């Protein structure tokens, strides 16, 4: 059995943050928990994109998070990963994907969940 955390030990891990609104607001009830988790992962990746200067001509930050990376992070199949992206894009309107062309990963624009609450 595991031991307890003592003092500063509780601060040694990295954590993903998920907006509570995704779980508490009725507008997001129709979205699967897996899609909400993926949205949290995408939000986390935004920090890396800002550091890399990944912005379009309008100044909007985008991320590159391939289907293969999603499969690895969530331990799911290709079909599931594609379905979760589709859910966030088409059903929840929380992301927008832009194709770059043959063999290149799509750019993902993560939209603010706050706009969905308005």
3-state secondary structure of 96: strand
- 17 pLDDT band, cuts 50/70/90, is confident
Model confidence at 118, pLDDT cuts 50, 70, 90, reads low
> What percent of the chain is modeled with pLDDT above 70?
95
Q: What are the sequence ranges of the domains in the chain?
A: 16-117
Q: What's the confidence (pLDDT) of residue 113?
A: 85
**Please, what is the average pLDDT of the chain?**
90
Q: How far is CA 94 from CA 3, 52, 65, in A?
A: 39, 22, 15
Buried (b) or exposed (e) across 85-118, using 16+ Cβ within 10 A?
A: bebbbeebebbeeeeeeeeeebbbbbbebeeeee
The pTM score is 0.86
pLDDT value of position 11: 72
Topology classification of domain 16-117:
Arc Repressor Mutant, subunit A (1.10.10)
């Amino acid at each position: 059995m595991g031991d307890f955390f003592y003092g500063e030990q509780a601060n040694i891990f990295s954590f993903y943050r998920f907006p509570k609104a995704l779980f508490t607001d009725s507008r997001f009830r129709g979205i699967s928990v897996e899609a909400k988790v993926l949205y949290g992962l995408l939000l986390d990746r935004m920090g890396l994109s800002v550091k890399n200067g990944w912005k379009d001509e309008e100044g909007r930050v985008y991320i590159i998070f391939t289907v293969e990376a999603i499969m690895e992070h969530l331990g799911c199949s290709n079909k599931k990963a594609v379905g979760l992206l589709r859910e966030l894009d088409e059903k929840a309107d929380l992301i927008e994907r832009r194709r770059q062309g043959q063999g290149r990963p799509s750019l993902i624009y993560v939209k603010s969940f706050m706009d969905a609450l308005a």
